[in-house]
Structures are given as C-alpha cells and as structure tokens.
Amino acid sequence: MAQDAAGAVGARLGPQVDSLIRAAQRGDQDAFEQLVRAYDQSVLRLAMNLLRSPEDARDVYQEAFLRVYRNLHSFRFDCSFHTWLYRIVTNICLDQLRKRKVRKEEPAVVETTEGPIDRMEAFEEDAAEADPERSMWNRQLKRKIDDALLDLTPRERLVFELRHYQGLRLRTIGEMLGTTEEAAKNCLFRATQKMRSVLGDFV
C-alpha cells in the first residue's frame, strides 16, 4: 500500500520542521527551501497523479508553494504543517479538477500518425513488458482505470487519491478538505462503487 511520504518526512524531521518554519517566518530563505524539500516530492506526486500532466502538476507546485511563502507568517502551529500545506494543495487541485470538468478533461491518450500514444507513458521508460499479451492487457486496464477516475467528482477523486495513493487517514483528509471524517468515508465509498461499476469485467 502506498505510504504517506510527506507525513513520514515531516514526522522524521519532527521538531526540526517547527524550527524551520520559525526561521522561514523570520525571512530565512534557506530554511524555507529546506521546508519545501521536505514536502515537495509528495505534493508533486499528488498533483501528477491527479492531473496526469507534468505541465499542470508544475503549475500546482508553483502556486501551492508560492502561497505557502506568502502566507507562512499566518501559520500559528494550531495544526500540523503537513495538514496546513495539504489544505492549500488540495484546494488548488480541486480548482484544477473542476476547471477540467467544465472544459472536459484533456485525454491522456493522444492520436498521432504512429497510432495512439499515452502521454503518461511517453516518459515511463521501459513501460513495454516482455510479454506482449500482458502489455496489451495492462494498457487496456490503464485506459479503463482512467475512464473510471474521470467518472468521479473532483472531491471523490481527491479523497480517493489521498487515501489510496498517499495513504492518509480519512480523519486527516476530512480535516484537510474542511469536512468530517464521515463525509470523507462516504466519498471513498461512492468513489469505489463508481470505479467498480466502470471497470466491470476487469475486477
């Protein structure tokens, strides 16, 4: 199961994070950079997994950490920095997902003169398996999963990503999204049901 990398790094640094935050609040840019590096990998992975586009993930990263930079002075240590940061990140991701719903999601698979190419697989080196049948099955499954994820509302998608891939507890996810643990549970249940119905024979 996926691990909550940002939480793990934060926990590992422990009190060091607090002193980095305090130093960054005093204007120490090195401290801010260290703080960013402690969390940015999992932020980028979340954005990438949700948006399936390096360009959009890059925008989310930039906007999220610039907001952190501008608003760090208002962080009062009344929740964990990880939760505070993820509130910012999830808000930006939700906005992006909602915009996509309006303009219809950009397909992950693009048609080219050499046949359909998955934008995500373009940089996944050695994506092709030795066994062509398995490779074909995996490609079909991936496409089907993308369809299933498109069927979710932005909030369901986010709750699912945070629970399944980032390994966060539903209580924490509720806190990040400004909702209750119960509402997060309902979201996860609906997301799972929808995906199972779209994936049909595959699962």
Partner 1 sequence: MTCDSVTKLIPLYYYAELTPEEEDRVEQHLHECSGCTREMDRQRTLAAALNSRQSGLPPRLLEDCRADLMAAIQGGAPRRDPVKGPWTLFLEALGATFGGVVRVRQPLGALSLIAVGFFAARFIGVTPGREGISQAGMAPEDVFSTVRSVQPDAGGRVQIAFDETRRRVISGGLDNQNIRRLLLAAAHEQNAAVRVESVDLLKGQAAASEVRDALLNAVSHDSNDGVRLKALEGLKPFASDPAVSQTLAQVLLTDHNDAVRMQVVDLLVARRDDSTVGVLQNVVQREANNYVRLKCEKALKDMNASIGTF
Residue 101 touches partner 1, criterion: CB under 8 A: no
Residue 169 touches partner 1, criterion: CB under 8 A: yes
Task: Work out how close the CB of 32 gets to partner 1 at its nearest, in angstroms, rounded to a whole number.
Answer: 8
Query: Token pair for residue 185?
Result: 């549970």
DSSP state of 179: S
Three-state secondary structure call for residue 151: coil
Residue 163 touches partner 1, criterion: CB under 8 A: yes
CB nearer to partner 1: give 78 or 133.
Answer: 133
Q: Which of 8, 79, 117, 136 binds partner 1 (CB under 8 A)?
A: 8
The torsion defined by the Cα of 28, 32, 38 and 39, in degrees rounded to 10, comes to 160
Measured CA to CA, the distance from residue 187 to residue 181 in angstroms comes to 10
Measured CA to CA, the distance from residue 34 to residue 39 in angstroms comes to 9
Residues 35-74 binding partner 1 (CB under 8 A) are 36-37, 40-41, 44-45, 48-49, 54-55, 57-58, 61-62, 65-66, 69-70
Contact yes or no for 146/108 (Cβ under 8 A): yes
Task: Work out how close the CB of 104 gets to partner 1 at its nearest, in angstroms, rounded to a whole number.
Answer: 15
Measured CA to CA, the distance from residue 44 to residue 64 in angstroms comes to 10
Contact yes or no for 174/58 (Cβ under 8 A): no
Place of tokens 């990140």: 89
Residue 199 touches partner 1, criterion: CB under 8 A: yes
Residue 5 touches partner 1, criterion: CB under 8 A: yes
Residues that bind partner 1 (CB under 8 A): 1-3, 5, 8-9, 12, 29, 32-33, 36-37, 40-41, 44-45, 48-49, 54-55, 57-58, 61-62, 65-66, 69-70, 120, 123-127, 134, 138, 141-142, 145-146, 163-165, 169-170, 185, 188-189, 192-193, 195-196, 199, 202-203
